[in-house]
A and B are shown apart, each in its own frame.
Chain A
Amino acid sequence: MNPVAFVIPWFGKNLKGGAEQLAWQVSNRLAKRGHKIEVLTTCCSSFLEDWSTNHLPSGSEMLDGLLVRRFKVDKRNGDLFNHANSHALAIPPENLRAGINPFTFGTGELFVAENINSLALERYLKWNKKRYHAFVFLPYLYGVILNGLPHVAEKSFLQPCLHDEVYAYLPEVENIMRGCRGILYNSLGEECLAHTLFGPGIDRKGEVVGVGVESFDLTHQPLPKQVAGLDLDEEKYVLCLGRRDKTKNTAMLVQAYQKYRKNHPESKLMLIIAGPGEEQFGASVQGVYDLGLVSELDKEALLSRCTVLFQPSRNESYSRVIMEAWFYNRPVAVHGECLATAMAVNAAGGGWLATNREAWAHLFHMISSMEESELLELGKKGRAYARQYAEWDAVIDRYESVLGLKSAEILKEKTQHRIGPRTIHQLVPGFAHGDAISNQTMIIRDLLKKKGYKSDIFTEHIDPSMTHEARLFKDGKGIKADVGLIYHHSIGAGLTDFVINHPGPKSLIYHNITPPELVRNADPELALKLEQGLNDLSRLAPHFPVSAGDSRFNCRDLEESGFASPSVLPICIAPEKWNIPAEPNMLTRLRDGKDNILFVGRLAANKCQHDLIDAFAVYLAMYGNCRLILVGGFMEEEKYYQSLKERVRLQGLEGDVLFTGKVTDTILHACYRCADLFWSMSEHEGFGVPLIEAMWFDIPVFAYKSSAVPETLGEGGLLFTDKQDVKELAAAARLLMHDPEVRSKILSGQKQRRGIFLPEAIRLQLDEFIRGMDV
């Protein structure tokens, strides 16, 4: 197998910095497992040196058995870089909004261009791409990475070591996050941050690999039983470990302890603080011991015997000390608003969260009254988690599997069964970029090809940008009489006669037709077309022994039209569609502090946008500060649109309801990214693609129970069966947006549900369906 290359601006055993240490550890450990590993880096010796000086000779060298190739760095203008950097740091954090470039006046480009760069390294990547199995780039914010990764994007894995800081909002960073093949995260918190910044498009190529924590070698010397005169075995104490400064919240913790002792003066529970830093704590508070800086050995001894470890800092990106405590089976308590630590504790179940002084004081009390066995149980949970994400063996296993270094996986890739060159084509009325049904046909085609079939997509109307994916249907040209045919039926198709007369094996997939009576008043012409579509369905029935609908709800239509035992074949929805930047102007417009309520669907009477406008008016009157976004195509002269506009005008909502019309995917992306609630009043959905898309964007879904909606939503979202009590609906909508508990439960249900519609999940059903055609 070809080698894996780690690309990093600086490389060396003793370099300071998280990413540098990580690169050293991982590359060495992978090499020790026998993989071919190379490091591509610059001649600059470290982050602290001048970035345009080549301290080390260029060329390759062996470092601890690892091949390191060094490349000369480019000359750069440090002053310009500093100017851009200080500009970036001056941007107030509240101005940072995901998807919007905070760097103005070209300072972003300046920041990248005058960063540490190496043309030589880039050239090397470009010309030697084929020689490598994969590239791992880390960390995210240096020129070497930002300019280098695009050259080898399809083989690149990015380990961003992402922080919520101004650099993360650079468009160049978004570019590499979207362009790379896979993303390696150090923690759940980091993954969550990436999701917030870049949306669900990158979700499925990311993997939390974790960071190993070197466990202390206990074989050489025993841990001391006494530290600073305290007999650790005798005392019961809470430990707070680490550097102390204003951001670490140590002072608050001491106050919380003081408060606890005031209420429980008899308590024996102590608070021990240890770690470097100027400030001294608790000299006057009984029960608080500040040990200052302690030796590694003492630190281990303190950790191993503490009752609980407290980490009150709000500002941690990855807390080693939590993992260390867990390795000793000790539970931990962390700040509830610190994303990285709180997510780890939540995921592990190895401790508690607290946010304010009262909560911390209460924790002291709770812990003092807990049995050792209970504490141990929590600590064990933490240990299990730590072993998974902080033990090097497990972490390196994960690297191997993500980078495709495991031999078993390579074999799996190669196993494919070939059936022989038979043909199944698909016929679909329209084919457009981003359209769910078009995507479905492409997934089916790819699957067919994988199974050894010849397969093409034929369509009556094609989006000019998609001509490479499908062929225009012209009187059956290119479709031989004996080939298999999958016909996707919905309205507007002049294909009915052709498919009825096609003599070869065939099947039908039905994508729902809106009942004509629902739209007859608003749009009689459309109603006629729909009627035609339904009539066609009963004409088609006798000719198609194999059929499927998007949902059980759709299958009912098929059965009524005379199809025998149709199966259910849901539409595939994968979040990769959204691996595109969101439209920045729309983002800016929608991220103005108002809550955004979204509905996506053509403006049509059966989708009941009118009910939604009325309900929104009530919500707005009750709570204010909100906007309704109605995404969906319409013609200016359409009656229904005019009536909606009039309704908006009469209720004085002109500034609060936004009709976007038919939008591009980048704009729709922006709408989804900014939405706080997806609210559907629709009375007819054959399947409801936007419901699932909303789930991928972690927008709570609030929907009227009708047609296929409950079937599609499953355990996701919240349904209502009655539109009458609008005030109650508004209050429920409020809770879905602003009650953290309700929101998180809904979202966790949605996370479960959305997976069901992934291509992998639907593959089995597809297999079954194709087998049924018996080609």
Chain B
Amino acid sequence: MLETQNPEIDLAQLLEKIGLELHRQHKSVVGRLDRVASEELAINDPYSWGQLGSTLNVAEQNVNAGAEVTSMLHYRGIMRKIARFLGKVTIFLGRVITIPQRNFNSAILHSFRITLDGIRDMNRSTALFERQIAEQMRHFDEQLKKKSALIDYLKTGLITQERRVSILLEELRRELTTADGSQKALSPHLTGLDILDPLYLAFENQFRGTREEIRDRLLEYVPLMREAGAGNPGREVLDIGCGRGEWLGIMQDEDLLASGLDLNHVLVQECREKGLKVIENDALTYLRSLPESSLGAITSFHLIEHLSFDDRIALFDECVRVLKSGGVAIFETPNPRNLLVGACNFWADPTHLRPLYPETHQFLMEYRGFCKVELLFLHPHEGEQRLPETEAPQLAARLNEILSCARDYTVVGYKA
């Protein structure tokens, strides 16, 4: 790619030199980075301190300006003599100014020298400091790498242990199953121990949203409780599938009497630690154990989509049975009419069975004995998800309707 008509230049040799240069350059870039990290800061002289020093030398030679008459270069011969005489007179008269000026000059010059020395010292100590910091950063990096390796090791160990425990539990169950098919009771410590419990807790923490977000959404239900007189003595609220206990917490804050029900051992423990009243049991089993007309309200958030059709019907039946007259039942579940929820978000939870069509849900509750059954659509998407309705307003409106409508809906029913 290079060309020349100069006969002295050997192009092949030049190209070889360029190749070497590129190679050397590549190496020196790497080398340069190393150097900068280590030292050699003294050689870099971005502010030309050396030049500053010599400039100060020049200034020093002229510090005594105004002490002597200039040479009056424009004049020659006798004219210069006259000019110089006049100059001397001027200088004599000007001493009032020039003497303090010269003092000022030398003071300033002296200060500059001190400053320059100071800056040099500071540069040196900065360089030292930077080196120390770089050293420490390297140390921290190493430590961090070691620690994260340790964490990885522990994590794999933990998973292995969990598997082992679940296998042991499985084997234990088999051992305890006697030949006639009847099962011996497991020790209470072991019955509560479902290996998937901690997993689900972790899942909730990651996907369900923060406690605060959920608390905000749930506050909307407090008026419903008050209208139905639920939470007063004798009209207690039961929250089925209370999870992390956000709703129980709200009711406690609002002085509503309530208790929770959940199957997950870890979640139950967590709620109890917070001072909430929670029963660890299966929903149907527990409801069946309750007497008729004993509760003021039954709430259940994001539970029924985990239940089979038969269980759901059984649940509705039991609720109607245990509620007092005028008592309210609330079931919140993801809204499949929202395209995003129906097509995607619903399936984020691997334990969901199928989305529930709102009107079907309403119909079922009415059919099993609730009255004044209503659908409430909640939690629409906020503005940023909406399409702007400026360019194609009809299309945008239509899309907004199915993309940004409520993410959840609630069926509210009362016992006559």
Which A residues fall within an 8 A CB radius of B? 74, 77, 80, 87, 90-92, 94-95, 104-106, 109-110, 112-114, 119, 622-623, 705, 710, 713-722, 725, 727-728, 731-732, 734-735, 739, 742, 745-746, 748-749
Contact B9 A87 (CB under 8 A): no
Q: How far is the CA of A112 from the CA of B68 in the complex (A)?
A: 18
Which B residues from 1 to 26 make CB contacts under 8 A with A?
A: 1-9, 14, 17-18, 21-22, 25
For the complex, is B51 an interface residue (Cβ under 8 Å from A)? yes
Contact B22 A623 (CB under 8 A): no
Distance of A120 from chain B, by nearest CB (Å): 10
Distance of A34 from chain B, by nearest CB (Å): 39
18 A-B pairs within 8 Å (CB atoms) are namely: A74-B77, A77-B71, A80-B71, A90-B61, A94-B50, A104-B58, A105-B61, A113-B71, A622-B29, A715-B4, A720-B3, A721-B2, A722-B1, A735-B14, A742-B17, A746-B6, A748-B8, A749-B9
Which residues of A lie under 8 Å from residue B4 when comparing CB positions?
715, 717-719, 749
Among B6, B25, B50, B57, the residue within 8 A (CB) of A623 is B25
Among A114, A721, A731, the residue within 8 A (CB) of B21 is A731
Q: How far is the CA of A77 from the CA of B70 in the complex (A)?
A: 11
Which residues of B lie under 8 Å from residue A715 when comparing CB positions?
4-7
Which residues of A lie under 8 Å from residue B184 when comparing CB positions?
none
Contact B3 A721 (CB under 8 A): yes
Among A77, A113, A720, the residue within 8 A (CB) of B2 is A720
Contact B9 A114 (CB under 8 A): no
Which residues of A lie under 8 Å from residue B7 when comparing CB positions?
715
Distance of A128 from chain B, by nearest CB (Å): 19
What total count of A-B pairs have CB within 8 Å?
A: 96
Which B residues from 312 to 342 make CB contacts under 8 A with A?
A: none
Known A74-B77, A105-B62; judge A732-B3 contact (CB<8 A).
Answer: no
Q: How far is the CA of A652 from the CA of B56 in the complex (A)?
A: 34
Among A80, A87, A106, A728, the residue within 8 A (CB) of B1 is A728
Contact B1 A745 (CB under 8 A): no
Distance of B45 from chain A, by nearest CB (Å): 9
Distance of A602 from chain B, by nearest CB (Å): 26
Q: How far is the CA of A722 from the CA of B3 in the complex (A)?
A: 10
Apart from A105-B65, A113-B73: 5 A-B pairs, beta carbons within 8 A? A92-B54, A719-B3, A731-B21, A731-B25, A749-B4
Which residues of B lie under 8 Å from residue A80 when comparing CB positions?
68, 71
Interface 1/0s, chain B 74-86, versus A by CB < 8 A? Answer: 0011000000000
Distance of A37 from chain B, by nearest CB (Å): 29
Name which of B6, B29, B57, B61 has the most chain A CB atoms within 10 A of its CB.
Answer: B6
Please report whether the interface of chain A is mostly helix, strand, loop or mixed according to DSSP: helix
Contact B6 A727 (CB under 8 A): no
Which residues of A lie under 8 Å from residue B62 when comparing CB positions?
104-105
Which residues of B lie under 8 Å from residue A731 when comparing CB positions?
18, 21-22, 25
Query: For residue A623, which residue of chain B has the nearest CB?
Result: B25
Known A110-B71, A734-B21; judge A742-B58 contact (CB<8 A).
Answer: no
Contact B73 A109 (CB under 8 A): yes
Contact B2 A732 (CB under 8 A): yes
Which residues of A lie under 8 Å from residue B65 when comparing CB positions?
105
Interface 1/0s, chain B 194-233, versus A by CB < 8 A? Answer: 0000000000000000000000000000000000000000
Contact A705 B18 (CB under 8 A): no
Distance of A494 from chain B, by nearest CB (Å): 40
Distance of A733 from chain B, by nearest CB (Å): 10
Among B2, B22, B29, B73, the residue within 8 A (CB) of A718 is B2
Which residues of B lie under 8 Å from residue A90 when comparing CB positions?
57-58, 61
Which residues of B lie under 8 Å from residue A91 when comparing CB positions?
54, 58
Contact A735 B73 (CB under 8 A): no
Contact B3 A705 (CB under 8 A): yes
Among B1, B51, B73, B76, the residue within 8 A (CB) of A95 is B51
The 8 closest A-B pairs by CB, nearest first: A749-B6, A722-B1, A113-B73, A719-B3, A731-B21, A715-B6, A715-B5, A745-B8
Contact A87 B61 (CB under 8 A): yes
Which residues of A lie under 8 Å from residue B71 when comparing CB positions?
77, 80, 109-110, 113-114
Query: For residue A593, which residue of chain B has the nearest CB?
Result: B48
Which residues of B lie under 8 Å from residue A87 when comparing CB positions?
58, 61
Query: For residue A721, which residue of chain B has the nearest CB?
Result: B1
Distance of B289 from chain A, by nearest CB (Å): 74
Contact A746 B9 (CB under 8 A): yes
Name which of B7, B21, B65, B71 has the most chain A CB atoms within 10 A of its CB.
Answer: B71
